[in-house]
Amino acid sequence: MIYADYNATAPLRPEARDAMIAALEVGANPSSVHGPGRAARKVLETARRQVASAISGIPQDLVFTSGGTEAIALAIHGVVRQLEGNCTLLVSAIEHEAAAQNAGYSGAPVQTVYVSSAGQIDLDDLSNRLNSWDHERHGTPILVLMVANNETGVIQPVSEASAMVREAGGLVICDGVQGLGKISLNVSLLGADYVALSAHKAGGPQGAGALWIRSGAPLRASLFGGGQERSLRSGTENLAGIAGFGAAAEAAVGDLVEFESLAAYRDAMEARLKSEAGVTVFGEEAPRLANTSNFALCDFRAETQVMAMDLAGIAVSSGSACSSGKVKRSLVLSAMGADDALAESAIRTSFGWKSTQQDFELTADAWLKALAQRKAKETA
């Protein structure tokens, strides 16, 4: 099996597995003050330092959560509550459902910020909104923007957008889930006030994530209880999961140069598919994650492709693979201006730390074979 769905979940790194097993051996609550509890606390704080280092942050600004979705939810609901609803959320049209839906349920007004056909946020649209911003009417502007899109891999100009929002007296919530371990992340350079992270996208376990919070940024807790994580996220921490998170983050950042080399294999695969089949590659005009390709051939339905590739022993996805178990039309591609027929024909490949050049080549072979079989059936 060739696994080409890293943007949904990356395989567990051996460093993460080892750290998790060691943490399970500790067998104590990190909030306890006895010896075993202090040992558990040491594991927790080691992981906090590892994750913070991976984003060039400081450990005390990091709060652990159960995953990226909870981290995003904590940021959105926490800031809206702290501002007592006197704010408006500016959500880019290509945000993950974790951001878009939490924004919708936050109780605050939501405006959609447009994106270009290349899949990047339209900075002119954002600038126009902010230049005419009525603070009395709309309150504090809060931009919700991802570092990189999970479907297309397109990298967003977060630093530029953040500077605009800050000048307008606003705040920025950044979904950094797809960026960790794939591009160099520096929270200071991003300029965001909140950055959400997830372990399992970087080769850690599912069930662990984090929210980096700029010192002094407004935030109110959403979950109450024992006061863990600076009283911002109560509940006994998932020690083994967090230990795996820290180890994976450290290993992923150490592999960045090797990860970036995947772009050459990806580009060669796309060139072949365009040459031999005439596919459309989404977001190729913009900077992209090195591992990600989203392409379509009109009227070759996505679910047919996903099933054919699965039968060929290659795992790919369509749309946002982590949103549900269903294959559905991509709202991201629609926001980029793709017509329904093309959007319904798009699939995504995303490779990672275990991938080889041959994986890309065999993926192209399998897809072209599936297309040939489809054409043969149509003419039979």
8 Å CB contact between 131 and 303? no
Sheet with 209-213: list strands edge to edge. Answer: 62-65, 209-213, 194-198, 171-175, 140-146, 87-92, 110-113
Please give the backbone phi and psi of residue 226, each rounded to the nearest 5 degrees, phi first. Answer: -80, -5
Distance CA 144, CA 99 (A): 7
8 Å CB contact between 39 and 45? no
Rg of the chain in Å (alpha carbons): 21
Distance CA 43, CA 246 (A): 10
Distance CA 303, CA 208 (A): 30
Distance CA 55, CA 362 (A): 34
The two structure tokens encoding residue 113: 């910020």
Query: Is 322 annotated in the active site?
Result: yes
Distance CA 338, CA 117 (A): 8
Q: How many other CB atoms sit within 10 Å of the CB of residue 275? A: 9
For residue 283, which of 178, 366, 363 has the smallest C-alpha distance? 178
Distance CA 51, CA 315 (A): 29
146 Cβ contact list (under 8 Å, min separation 6): 92, 94, 95, 96, 99, 156, 174, 175, 176, 177, 178
8 Å CB contact between 71 and 96? no
- Catalytic member of 87, 174, 298, 322: 322
Which positions are annotated as active-site residues?
322
